Amino acid sequence: MPDRVFALNGPNLNLLGQRQPEIYGAATLADVERECAALCGELGLALEFRQSNHEGVLVDWVQEARGAAKAIVINPGAFTHTSVALLDALNAFDGPVIEVHISNVHKREDFRRHSYVSLRADGVIAGCGTDGYGLALRRVANLLARP
């Protein structure tokens, strides 16, 4: 049985490819999911890829991952900078957590430089565009192979 990884996406990421392409690029979230699924096939991982605009739904999915996934890759969108609830949920998850930001949040507004999720994340990838998801999955595969 391949190890299952949850890839969770927060608010407005459903608009990827349409929203501020100069910052977030031209790929759609469906494109990202397709690339992640292909990579997971190569890495021997089973992918569960989801997006929600709602904080509580993301919290529910992180809780669901406790019994259903070995690792979490998460782009929490704007909840990165605001959500203690998401941090608390991630703190109740035992496996590797990799935080992804498509843009370089350190090159933007000051409020984007603080992340609640980073207090839990084992790794953070920012500013690598949508390639960041693949980098995160490769890191997860390495961590699961040799913790």
Residues annotated catalytic, as ranges: 24, 101
Strands (E), 52-111: 71-75, 97-101
What is the nearest approach in angstroms of ligand DHK to the Cβ of residue 114? 10
Name the one range near ligand DHK by CB under 6 A: 28-36, 44-52, 64-72, 96-104: 96-104
Q: What is the C-alpha separation between 54 and 141, in angstroms, rounded?
A: 28
Site residue total, ligand DHK (CB under 6 A)? 10
3-state helix, strand, coil in the chain (%, to 5): 50, 20, 30
Tell whether residue 34 is among the known ligand binding residues. Answer: no
Provide the token pair at 129. Answer: 């565009």
CB 90 within 8 A of CB 37: no
70 binds ligand DHK (CB under 6 A): no
Q: Indicate which single residue of 43, 77, 136, 141 sits in contact with ligand DHK (rule: CB under 6 A).
A: 77
73 binds ligand DHK (CB under 6 A): no
Q: What is the C-alpha separation between 88 and 30, in angstroms, rounded?
A: 29
98 binds ligand DHK (CB under 6 A): no
List residues near ligand DHK by CB under 6 A: 12, 75, 77-78, 80, 101-103, 105, 112
